[in-house]
Amino acid sequence: MKVTRDKKELIVRVPLFARRYNPYLEQAGKNPDTGQMENIVGLIYKDEIGFAYLIDRDYKGKCDDCSSIFLHYDGDEKDFKKLCAELKISWWCI
């Protein structure tokens, strides 16, 4: 994440993609880089809406997980889903 500012705004840059990593392969002396994954997901959880990080669980043979929301969205669910579509970011409702 990179945080900067200009005269009027705080600018937060978050990478859209991350590299998958398998720590078990590293211990075996193999290349731990196992591919690319989305880094950000739109999250709708109870009465909270916003963006969260995806957590790689592929190396455990499980589906990816997500962090808590790091950037909250003040609009409604319908508008948030529309924003996610415009940004080409997946969204989860859990």
pTM of the predicted model, to two decimals? 0.83
In a domain, 69, yes or no: yes
Assess if residue 79 is contained within a domain. yes
Measure CA of the first residue to CA of the last residue in the chain; give whole Å: 25
> What is the rounded distance in angstroms from the CA atom of residue 89 to the CA atom of residue 47?
20
Residue 58 located in a structural domain = yes
Domain of 72 in residue numbering reads as 16-93
Mean pLDDT by 10 residues, the chain (94 residues): 95 92 65 77 96 91 93 97 97 94
User: 6 in a domain, yes or no?
Assistant: no
- Is 4 inside any structural domain? no
Residue 25 lies in a domain: yes
- Number of domains composing the chain: 1
Query: In terms of Cα–Cα distance, which of 12, 15, 20, 67 is closest to 42?
Result: 67
